[in-house]
């Protein structure tokens, strides 16, 4: 059973928040993409209620790379400091490059950015995040990769009382799901053993991400299968990607009800 539920909201402008709030009668958090503090304040006012806490999801312009990594300039990394004192989620990923998603492009992207690129600002990124975590609650979000790969681009942030780690478990995006699930199960077990309640795991995709054509769950039953997998693995902190994907389904309520079936 899940102790916490968190939703990412990458496209808050596509959400009817009044309708979403009607579906939520349990404590949860929503992290809303925010290019600056004004963005966050606008969405916080619109989304927050007695059940929903709102956090900021800092994002850069496409020209700056959108996500944060050791390839991000120090000037862009410093923009994280503007969110000091808030609850924030930081995506630790190499910069956005593809115009649309494809398995072939993703493979080429991985070869380039994880094997052949140097990341000159990885230490600066990690130092900035660790310093910020002294008075800011942070979720550092990244790939479910072995440490040697995460370390290269700045994704091996050390957890502390104010810094949790989230890992993407986006089963909808990958071919050969049964094969990848074996790896995911191994990874999740090890991270829970290492990090206890300081780790979170994100399921997706219910709707497409920034590329607009990522593979998504065909139906709520596929999502429910992954919820059951998480439950069997004793995952305590569920993350769901993402709100507009839920609200643009034919029956958003059934997706929320699937989650509620695993709440304490």
Q: What is the pLDDT of residues 77-134, one digit of tens each?
A: 999 999 999 999 999 988 877 566 766 676 666 676 666 678 899 999 999 999 999 9
Q: Which residue range(s) make up the domain with 176?
A: 4-260
Share of the chain above pLDDT 70, in %: 93
At residue 110, the pLDDT reads 67
Q: How many domains does the chain have?
A: 1
CATH number (domain holding residue 252): 3.20.20.80
Choose between 62 and 97: higher pLDDT: 62
Does 2 score more than 90 pLDDT?
Answer: yes
Report the predicted TM-score, pTM, of the whole model to 2 decimal places.
0.94
Task: State how far the Cα of 25 lies from the Cα of 43, in Å rounded to an integer.
Answer: 19
Residue with tokens 């490059």: 97
Task: Look at the alpha carbons of 239, 240, 242, 246 in this order and tell me if their dihedral is positive or negative.
Answer: negative
Angle at 109 between CA 67 and CA 147, to 5 degrees: 70
Show Cβ contacts of residue 228 under 8 Å, excluding neighbours closer than 6 positions.
none
Q: What does the pLDDT average to over 139-143?
A: 95
């Amino acid at each position: 059973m899940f102790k916490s539920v968190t939703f990412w909201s990458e496209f808050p402008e596509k959400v009817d928040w009044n309708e979403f709030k009607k579906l939520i009668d349990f404590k949860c958090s929503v992290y809303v993409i925010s290019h600056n503090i004004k963005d966050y304040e606008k969405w916080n006012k619109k989304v927050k209620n007695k059940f929903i806490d709102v956090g900021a999801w800092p994002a850069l312009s496409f020209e700056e790379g959108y996500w944060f990594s050791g390839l991000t300039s120090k000037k862009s990394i410093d923009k994280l400091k503007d969110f000091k004192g808030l609850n924030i989620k930081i995506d630790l990923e190499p910069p956005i490059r593809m115009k649309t998603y494809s398995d072939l492009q993703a493979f080429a992207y991985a070869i380039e950015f994880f094997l052949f690129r140097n990341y000159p600002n990885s230490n600066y990124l990690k130092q900035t995040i660790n310093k910020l975590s002294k008075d800011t609650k942070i979720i550092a979000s990244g790939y479910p990769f072995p440490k040697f790969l995460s370390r290269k681009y700045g994704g091996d942030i050390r957890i502390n009382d104010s810094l949790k780690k989230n890992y993407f478990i986006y089963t909808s995006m990958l071919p050969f799901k049964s094969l990848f699930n074996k790896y995911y199960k191994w990874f999740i077990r090890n991270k829970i053993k290492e990090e206890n309640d300081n780790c979170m795991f994100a399921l997706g995709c219910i709707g497409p991400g920034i590329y607009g054509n990522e593979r998504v769950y065909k139906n709520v039953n596929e999502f429910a299968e992954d919820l059951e997998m998480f439950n069997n693995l004793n995952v305590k902190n569920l993350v769901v990607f993402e709100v507009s994907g839920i609200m643009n389904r034919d029956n958003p309520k059934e997706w929320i009800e699937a989650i509620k079936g695993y709440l304490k």
